[in-house]
Amino acid sequence: ADLEFYHKHCKDDNLFVQCDTSGGCYVMPCVSGMVWNQEHQMCIPEGGSDRKRRNGYDCKNRNPCVHGQSGYYEHRHNDMFVQCDDIGGCYEHACGVGAVWSQEHMTCIHH
């Protein structure tokens, strides 16, 4: 069975709960300017409606890694990116606070 080790904090979006295989659970903070996102199970920059891209990828619904090509791809949120490894693994990463992904530069940049 799939086990979930990361959970949304019930009262504070800047916190999340990390559990381990022995039943321990720990309240963990996101860094300043970041909030917990349960869908991606990671802290992401606080953002408004301008975060979405029309043609970006994610690992759940529009996975660019299914063909086994390694590399970096723009995420459906402009402050994130997708990393693919050469065996089809898909990983979603958040850029730092105030940064967005630039496919042209293949890195997060401040704008």
Distance of CA 26 to CAs 57, 76, 93, 108, Å? 31, 30, 22, 30
Measured between alpha carbons, how far is 19 from 16 in angstroms, rounded to an integer? 10
User: Is the separation of the CB atoms in 57 and 78 below 8 Å?
Assistant: no
Say which residue, 35 or 53, is predicted with more confidence: 35
Inform me whether the pLDDT recorded for 111 exceeds 90. no
| Alpha carbon distance 2, 83 (integer Å) | 22
50 falls in which pLDDT band (50, 70, 90)? low
State residue 49's pLDDT score: 46
CA distance 47 to 75: 14
CA distance 77 to 86: 23
